[in-house]
Amino acid sequence: MTGYLAFVGGGEWTDGCTFDRTLIDACGATEVAVLPTGSAYENPDRLLVQARAWFADLGVEVIEVPVLRRTDAMVAEHAAALRRARFIYLAGASAMHLRAVLKDTPVFEAVLEAWADGAALAGTNAGADVLCNPMVDSRGGAFTVGLGVVSQLAVIPRLEEWSHDKVHRTVELAPRGLALAGVPTRTALLREPGGAWRAEGARVDEVSVFVDGRPATAADLRA
């Protein structure tokens, strides 16, 4: 049985992100491994400073796994650190960069192995988007290839920043049978180890799920 899977809409590591406590308790983590890959060109150190402050208040240490370029994702030491981790966070603003760096690498294989062994795996902002396949291309709202941890779900992170027209266009473009979940900031869509889905965090009432163009709920997800 896998561990928890969390799709965080952004606004990570701030007040309202109650799901982080849930994930820590669920997997028994004393450390969280953070990959700032998606912000490789946008001051990744800022993410790490924020993560350390947030998780220190929760009694958990942050371990940086400095995977910023594809060569970093081939480093055995980074893969080993992730394989040992009980809680892993993929973070940053560029899903395209995350995909380009991680796809078919020892580091990403280690992430999957840890999750399969019961570790909690969270993706925030672009990190939530890229865990899906297809994933949403936030630049235009169409779909492209993601990392495929789940294949029956695509995520729109930072939902409140999308216009109604852009969301509507993405819903219309979604392949038949694909669940499309809009997740606002400081909120997470959680998949429990047994397969049940639920939302947690500051803006759970704003989570929107569509299947075949029709409104659905987190309880309808089967990924």
Domain that holds residue 154: 5-220
Q: Report how many domains make up the chain.
A: 1
Using the predicted structure, report yes or no on whether residue 221 has a pLDDT greater than 90. no
Give me the CATH number covering residue 197: 3.40.50.880
Cα(18)–Cα(186) distance, rounded to whole angstroms?
Answer: 8
Does the pTM of the predicted model rise above 0.85?
yes
Region 113-118 average pLDDT = 98
Backbone angles phi, psi at 102, to 5 degrees: -95, -30
**198 closest CA partner among 208, 206, 188:** 188
| pLDDT for residue 219 | 74
The pLDDT score that the predictor gives to residue 39 is 97
Residues near 139 by beta carbon (within 8 Å), at least 6 away in sequence: none
Name the token pair of 220.
């309808």
**Alpha helix (H) ranges present in 58-197?**
76-84, 95-102, 106-116, 126-130, 164-173
Token readout for 63 is 């371990």
Rank 27-36, 138-147, 210-219 by mean pLDDT and report only the highest: 27-36
Q: How far apart are the first and last CA of the chain?
A: 14
**Contacts of residue 87, Cβ cutoff 8 Å, sequence gap at least 6:** 23, 24, 27, 29, 31, 32, 33, 60, 119, 120, 122
Higher pLDDT, 220 or 44: 44
Whether 220 has a pLDDT exceeding 80, the answer reads no
120/13 Cα distance (integer angstroms): 16
pLDDT tens, position by position, 148-165:
999 989 999 999 999 999
Does residue 49 surpass a pLDDT of 60?
yes
pLDDT at 1: 74
At residue 132, does pLDDT exceed 90? yes
Q: What is the rounded average pLDDT of the residues 37-61?
A: 97
pLDDT value, residue 223: 55
Q: Residue 217: what pLDDT?
A: 81
